[in-house]
Amino acid sequence: MPKVTEARRLAVRDRIRDAALSEFMDKGLATTSMADIVSASGMSAGAIYGHFTNKAELTAEVARGVIASRVDIVADSAVAEQIPTPSALLRTLFDTMPQDVLDSGIVLQIWGAAGPSGELRPIAQQAFSTMRSVFTEYLAAWLVSQGHSRRAALARARKLAPAFIGLAQGYLVHRSVLGRDLADTYLDSVQLLLADT
């Protein structure tokens, strides 16, 4: 029997993750079954369970995938030659996110599943820790570019990062509940709020 390469294994995991994300967006996280994901992926149940032991593990992988692309944007912004303003970074985070992901409310559904007794809580906590780190580095770099010393910038960035994450989450709530137009006015108000940062 031929050996499965690491690249092939990762490609299969990506295919399963993409099928799960599509089903979660169409049917909702709570109502999507593993049978739905099996059908959408075109793979056998055995193939899927060979990569993910249950729906919670697969949901965690979907969440990591959604978050990873946002983390990369923030990390790249921290080392950019021209560091974007905080409000410009928030716009970039959401302008570059697939619109179907934003419109589906899947991120809010995942957060809901990460409540105090949720199976996704450890994954959500790790995601928050990662986001806090990258936003702290970005904000410190931004503040240094505005004339603060590195030490002062880092101290201030550590205090600002949780609020900045909250502003990003606020957009996701507005987008899911009120729609794109009102969510865009939210970003306009955030731009005014951050003018003093």
pLDDT 10s digits, 69-80: 899 999 999 999
Residue 107: how many CB atoms within 10 A of its CB? Answer: 20
Q: What value does the CA radius of gyration of the chain take, rounded to a whole number of Å? A: 19
Q: What is the pLDDT of residue 120?
A: 84
**37-46: average pLDDT:** 94
The pLDDT of residue 197 is 52
Residue 31 DSSP label: T
Residue ranges of the chain assigned to CATH 1.10.357:
55-194
Mean model confidence pLDDT for the chain: 91
Other beta carbons within 10 Å of 4: 9
Q: How far is CA 141 from CA 1, 66, 88, 118, in A?
A: 52, 24, 14, 35
Q: Where in the chain are all domains bearing CATH 1.10.10.60?
A: 1-53
Residue percentage of the chain with pLDDT more than 90: 66
Q: What is the pLDDT of residue 134?
A: 97
**What average pLDDT does range 56-60 have in this prediction?**
91
Helices (H), 80-179: 86-95, 99-104, 106-112, 121-145, 150-178
**Greatest Cα pair distance in the chain:** 63
Range of lowest pLDDT (135-139, 162-166, 190-194)? 190-194
CATH superfamily of this structure's domain 1-53: Homeodomain-like (1.10.10.60)
Scored b (16 or more CB within 10 A) or e, 53-71 reads eebeebbbbbbeebbeebb
> Thinking of the domain 55-194, which architecture would CATH place it in?
Orthogonal Bundle (1.10)
Q: What is the pLDDT of residue 66?
A: 86
Task: Identify the pLDDT of residue 1.
Answer: 57
pTM of the model: 0.85
Tell me the pLDDT band of 86, cut-offs 50, 70 and 90. Answer: very high
Residue 17 has which token pair?
């993750």
Is a pLDDT exceeding 80 seen at residue 2? Answer: no
